[in-house]
Amino acid sequence: MKKLNIYFTAGIPQLEDTTEIIKLIQDSGADMMEIGMPYSDPVADGPVIQQAHELALKNGMTIAKLFSQLKSIKNEIRIPVILMGYINPVLSFGFENFCRECSESGVSGLIIPDLPPIEFEKNYKEILKKYRLNFTFLVTPETSDERILYLDSLSSGFLYAVSSSSTTGKENAVLKNEDYLTKLATLSLKNPVMIGFGIRSKQDFENVTEKADGGIIGTAFVDILLQNKDWRKNAIDFLNSIQG
């Protein structure tokens, strides 16, 4: 079975909705989830997720608040929870302190796209190991084979394969990029490959997972949380449509 990973931004539509959305994703049958930590300058994200970050910050979401919410439902969550965000807020929180809180909140891994691999190896790898946290790096169609193997060697949990070099949420980002997907499938990687950026439907999910281990859906799901007053029903319907 191909793995389904759902991303959403913590603190939307309302500050206290985070725990309900986590349970909803788990109940839908998703295999794992990524929770975005809101940041004022989310450079890798497209307009929808940028809007989500803005709303979440306006709602009062902070890293400390997110940890408090996660701890409140820690014993109810059975699928892996990964935190995704940018390095500055994590460093402001204190890297080791952040990892300790992750461990105590039931978080299993991190994705920090703007943390350079060299910095990771030098300063942070051992701290993550100490708190038993996975760390996932991103690769793109432009990443060389040599660098893909290097980033795979540093990653644990899975390798995040961005379907295009654009920001998140681009229309048609997930076309069958045969050469790229074939390359990833034929390299001797130690981690499962999850494809992300631009998956909006069951068809997209099936296309990208023909040669990959799973897919990540973010923008399409966040859009539902932002746009719909009846977001609970629409979110459930959307998740069911991917799995159905």
Give the residue numbers annotated as catalytic, written as ranges.
34, 45
In this structure, what DSSP letter does residue 197 have?
S
* Cross-strand pairs, 162: 196
Q: How far apart are the first and last CA of the chain?
A: 13
Are the beta carbons of 157 and 136 closer than 8 angstroms? yes
Contact (Cβ atoms closer than 8 angstroms) between residue 208 and residue 215: yes
Give whole-number Cα distances, 93 to 48, 109, 143, 171, in Å.
26, 17, 31, 35
In 16-137, DSSP assigns E strands to: 32-36, 81-84, 109-111, 134-135
C-alpha neighbours within 13 Å on the C-beta side of residue 20: 13
Residue 58 one-letter amino acid: K
Would you say the C-alpha torsion 134, 102, 212, 193 has a positive or negative sign? negative
Structure tokens at 4: 């389904």
What's the gap between Cα 20 and its chain centre?
18
| Sign of the CA dihedral running 229, 244, 2, 204 | negative
Q: CA nearest 217: which of 233, 231, 203?
A: 203
